Amino acid sequence: MLTPAHLTLVQWLSPAFPTGAFAYSHGLEQEIASGTVHDRASLEAWLGNILRFGAGWQDAVLLCLALRAGADTRALDAHARALQPSAERLGETLDQGRAMARCVSAVGGPPVEAGPLPLVLGRAAAGLNLRRAEVAALYLQGFVTNLAVIAVRHVPLGQSEGQRVISALQPLIVELAGAAADAGPDDLANAALSADLAAMRHETMDVRIFRT
């Protein structure tokens, strides 16, 4: 049953919520420049790998761990920072986390401590009493949507092609969110090496539109 808590979470994860997500490509700008991502199929494959093996899975697990009663969010915060593969990616999660903490409080949500984005969302959403899998799925959907919109503009892809990619990844998002809901700290991992290297190369691009 849809509740005001669901709508609150959707608002927090909306592109209209001022976390600055539009300014971060997660290394996708570099991948587009190198030709790795050049059409719908390559975008879907790249995003699928990020979800399965990179920040998608990693952030979903961190988020779900933060949603558990009695979570040690300080320890999770240190772990989340250590998992970031580059300075840009660390800045990406901290900048968005800081903005989310500020904006959630500004619209009447609970005051939450700034930190990595998935942990800030976990702290804020804990009081919504939603299922962990629901929160994680909506978080991953927002993550994928932001990156797909970047590809629509800069590959470029047609709007319909971008939406087809988002739709194609929805079953995977649901699967990963369900698994993350039951995962523990030992399940945290990041093996999206190509994407991580692209994020590092992005730091030295001569011309950049995005911050990562």
| Domains, the chain, with CATH or none | 4-16+23-199 (1.10.4190.10)
pLDDT score at 15: 87
Tell me the pLDDT band of 23, cut-offs 50, 70 and 90: very high
Whole-number Cα distances in Å, 59 to 7, 55, 101, 161, 177: 21, 6, 17, 26, 10
102: tokens are 């500020």
Q: CA-to-CA distance for 20 and 97, rounded, in angstroms?
A: 10
Tell me the pLDDT band of 194, cut-offs 50, 70 and 90: confident
Residue 183 pLDDT exceeds 90 = yes
Q: CA-to-CA distance for 61 and 182, rounded, in angstroms?
A: 9
Residue 18 pLDDT exceeds 90 = yes
Determine if the peptide bond prior to 156 is cis (ω within 30°).
Answer: yes
What percentage of the chain has pLDDT greater than the value 90? 89
Side chain identity, residue 127: G
pLDDT score at 190: 87
pLDDT score at 191: 87
Residue 138 pLDDT exceeds 90 = yes
Residue 189 pLDDT exceeds 90 = no
Among candidate residues 116, 114, 136, the one with its CA nearest the CA of residue 125: 136
Rg of the chain over CA atoms, in angstroms?
Answer: 16
pTM of structure: 0.97
pLDDT score at 169: 98
- Dihedral sign (CA 167, 172, 174, 177): negative
82: tokens are 């250590």
Side chain identity, residue 13: L
113: tokens are 């401590």
pLDDT score at 207: 81
Tell me the pLDDT band of 206, cut-offs 50, 70 and 90: confident
Residue 119 pLDDT exceeds 90 = yes
pLDDT digits (tens, 9 = 90+) for 92-114: 999 999 999 999 999 999 999 99
Among candidate residues 177, 212, 180, 172, the one with its CA nearest the CA of residue 196: 212
**Average pLDDT, rounded, for the chain:** 95
Q: Does residue 42 or residue 2 have the better pLDDT?
A: 42
Tell me the pLDDT band of 51, cut-offs 50, 70 and 90: very high
Average pLDDT over residues 176-202: 92
pLDDT score at 198: 87
Among candidate residues 117, 87, 80, the one with its CA nearest the CA of residue 101: 117
- How many C-beta atoms lie closer than 10 Å to residue 92's C-beta? 26
